[in-house]
Amino acid sequence: MTATKKCPACGYWSNWQQLTTDQCERCGQLLDPQRLRSEQAREALAQRPVSSLMLIEIRPDDKPLVRFFKYLIRGGQLAFGALMAFVLWLITLLAG
C-alpha cells in the first residue's frame, strides 16, 4: 500500500514518500511546503552559535590559573543544567 497526499495547490492526490521534496504529479508544487519551511528553520537554528551567556568562554590566551577556574565554572554550569533537566523530568514523570 502506498501513501498518498492531497496537493494543497490543485487538490490532486499524489504518491507521497513522506519526504519534504515530494511534489505533486499534476502541478509540480510541493506536497508539504510547511514541513520544508520548518526543517529549513530548524537547520538555520541549529547552525547558529551557542550564546556566550550559556557557557563561559575559555580563550587559549588566558593564563593557566584563569583557565583552570573557568573550567571549574563551566563544569558547575553544566552540572546545574543537568540538575535542572533532571528535576523537570522528575516533575513531569510525577505529574503523569
Q: What percent of the chain has pLDDT over 90?
A: 69
7-44 tens-digit pLDDT: 999 999 999 998 888 999 999 999 999 998 999 999 98
pTM for the predicted model, two decimal places: 0.47
- HSE-CB at 46 with a 13 A cutoff on CA atoms is 6
Residue 90 has pLDDT above 70, yes or no: yes
What is the structure's pLDDT at 5? 92
Segment holding 88, helix H or strand E: helix 64-95
What is the structure's pLDDT at 53? 58
End-to-end CA distance of the chain: 37
What is the structure's pLDDT at 51? 63
Look up residue 53 and give its amino acid: L
Q: pLDDT-based confidence at 69, cuts 50/70/90?
A: very high
Segment holding 6, helix H or strand E: strand 4-6
Segment holding 33, helix H or strand E: helix 33-47
Q: Which residues pair with 6 in a beta bridge?
A: 13
Average pLDDT, the chain: 89
Average pLDDT for 45-58: 76
Residue pointed to by grid coordinates 503523569: 96
What is the structure's pLDDT at 20? 87
Instruction: Tell me how far apart the alpha carbons of residues 93 and 89 are, in angstroms, rounded to a whole number.
Output: 6
